[in-house]
Amino acid sequence: MTKYENLVPRFLKYVRKETRSDEESTTVPSTQNQVEFANELVLELNEIGLSNVRIAQKSSYVFATLPSNLQNDENVKKVGFISHIDTADFNAKNVSPQVIKNYDGQSEIKLGNSGYSLTIDEFPNLKNYKGDNLITTDGNTLLGADDKAGVTEIMTAVEYLVAHPEIKHGEIEVAFGPDEEIGTGADRFEVDEFGADMAYTVDGGPLGQLEYETFNAAQATIHFIGKDVHPSEAKGIMINALKLAVEFENHLPSAEVPEKTEGRQGFFHLLSINGTVDEAKMTYIIRDHDRNKFEERKQLVRNIVAKMNEQFDEDRVILDMKDQYYNMREVIEKDMTVVELAKKAMEDLDIKPLIAPVRGGTDGSKISFMGLPTPNLFAGPENMHARFEYVSEQTMEQATDVVLQIVKLVSEG
């Protein structure tokens, strides 16, 4: 019998809950489904036996505390673990996961009757899971292991500690938050109310990932104001907003896009384009690990806008650009204790820490700049945000082990 008998049933229950966030929404959380799921987590945390379980009014995070069971915890830091409840912008309705027992590490995995498959040729990381039980989609939706694997692992860890009071620990704080996938979830995070002295997001990918370096991130929305007249009378009058959008794209460096970059290389990523001759809109995300290069990328966008507007009597290219988050390494590298602790926890469990820059961000990116350094631990998912997502039961168990080992090390001081 597995050490964590509720882990897989809990995970399967969670992923069947549709909790996709909505970037167009003005509410917090951005979707009612997240509200409902958060309320269910509150009930579950109370059933497990945690204290001070509540939904924070400002951020809508679910907060809870597992009190210390040490006789003297005066010098023991309070450690926190954080995951997000929303899923990415891909079909998340009627998630129907399938479990592949004792995967042989080489066979094709058919995703239900969808016509899609996971193959070694396309997804070579499957070779790493020989002998594991894999949980996949049926090919019609994402799985939602990002980050319901993390929610599951944190919930399972505190449940285990409650059931095993012989394991000594200091005070533990847990948080489950909304809207990470749309980049707004941690904007209102209440560090003081959370109450942790140190924290981790459990929101990473494969076994061993330990991340404390993320992108600096901004989003740019560019509006193009055209002038639409009948094509037969257009000469010298028409201004085609769609062509302005194409012109803008052509001014950006063509090789600095996600599909042509890796590692610490930054990029401009065109997320959407729509419009007519009369008006068009493009949305980009801008990413770079280096803060100076990040600022240069934003300035390039401003320069292109200014140059394009020079050809008109009035501004017809309107830029709305805002920063989203920054590279948390700037904060964490000042005191690497929280990283070294997680690294030792993994090594104690014979897990090789994989420390590399994240080509993305986590809620920890923002929370770290709020004064609570928060690196990211692996949660297990592969191929996140789409129909090819999968996760290993054994990796989820090991992620839970790491949470417990961190708790043990913190309690030892």
Per-residue pLDDT reduced to its tens digit, 161-170: 999 999 999 9
Cα–Cα distance list, 78 to 157, 311, 413 (Å): 16, 59, 11
Counting Cα atoms < 13 Å in the Cβ hemisphere of 409 gives: 20
Q: Which amino acid is at 63?
A: F
**Own/partner pairs, 48-52, CB within 8 angstroms, 24+ separation:** 48/155, 48/158, 48/159, 48/162, 49/162, 50/158, 50/162, 50/174
**pLDDT band (50, 70, 90) for residue 150:** very high
* pLDDT attached to residue 304: 98
Report the distance separating Cα 377 and Cα 401, nearest Å: 12
**pLDDT band (50, 70, 90) for residue 361:** confident
The pLDDT tens digits of the residues spanning 251-288 come to 999 999 999 999 999 999 999 999 999 999 999 999 99
Q: Is the peptide bond before 147 cis (omega within 30 degrees of 0)?
A: yes
Report the distance separating Cα 164 and Cα 167, nearest Å: 6
The pLDDT tens digits of the residues spanning 299-349 come to 999 999 999 999 998 999 999 999 999 999 999 999 999 999 999 999 999
| Bridge partners, residue 99, by sequence | 135
* pLDDT attached to residue 360: 86
Q: Look at residues 177, 13, 182 and name the one whose alpha carbon lies nearest to residue 84.
A: 177
- 3-class state of residue 146 by DSSP: helix
Pairing relationship of beta strands 79-84 and 198-204 according to DSSP bridges: parallel
> What's the average model confidence in pLDDT over 384-400?
97
CA angle 264, 222, 253 (to 5 degrees): 40
Q: Do 151 and 105 form a contact (C-beta atoms < 8 A)?
A: no
* pLDDT attached to residue 132: 98
The pLDDT tens digits of the residues spanning 204-241 come to 999 999 999 999 999 999 999 999 999 999 999 999 99
Q: Is the peptide bond before 97 cis (omega within 30 degrees of 0)?
A: no
Q: Do 52 and 64 form a contact (C-beta atoms < 8 A)?
A: yes
- Token pair, residue 253, equals 């460096």
* pLDDT attached to residue 336: 96
| Bridge partners, residue 16, by sequence | none
Q: How far is CA 341 from the centre of its chain?
A: 22
| Bridge partners, residue 272, by sequence | 283
Q: Which amino acid is at 168?
A: K
Q: Do 334 and 375 form a contact (C-beta atoms < 8 A)?
A: no
Question: Does the pLDDT of residue 41 top 80, yes or no?
Answer: yes
Report the distance separating Cα 160 and Cα 294, nearest Å: 43
- 3-class state of residue 55 by DSSP: strand
Q: Which amino acid is at 185?
A: G
Q: Which amino acid is at 206?
A: P
CA angle 270, 181, 363 (to 5 degrees): 115
Cα–Cα distance list, 251 to 65, 104, 111, 255, 256 (Å): 52, 48, 41, 12, 12
Q: How far is CA 93 from the centre of its chain?
A: 19
* pLDDT attached to residue 220: 98
Radius of gyration from C-alpha coordinates of the chain: 23
> What's the average model confidence in pLDDT over 73-80?
93
Q: Which residues are catalytic?
A: 86, 180
Q: Look at residues 65, 129, 67, 104 and name the one whose alpha carbon lies nearest to residue 390.
A: 129
What percentage of the chain carries pLDDT values higher than 90?
A: 95
Count CB atoms within 10 A of the CB of residue 345. 24
Q: Look at residues 246, 256, 248 and name the one whose alpha carbon lies nearest to residue 296.
A: 256
**Own/partner pairs, 340-343, CB within 8 angstroms, 24+ separation:** 341/198, 341/406, 341/409, 341/410, 342/200, 342/210, 342/375, 342/377, 342/402, 342/406, 343/210
**pLDDT band (50, 70, 90) for residue 156:** very high
Burial 223-234 (b: 16+ CB within 10 A, else e): bbbbeeeeeeee
Question: Does the pLDDT of residue 2 top 80, yes or no?
Answer: no
Report the distance separating Cα 28 and Cα 65, nearest Å: 23
Q: Do 373 and 338 form a contact (C-beta atoms < 8 A)?
A: yes
Compute the mean pLDDT over every residue in the chain, rounded to the nearest whole number. Answer: 96
**pLDDT band (50, 70, 90) for residue 73:** confident
Element (H, E) at 390: strand 390-392
Question: Does the pLDDT of residue 1 top 70, yes or no?
Answer: no
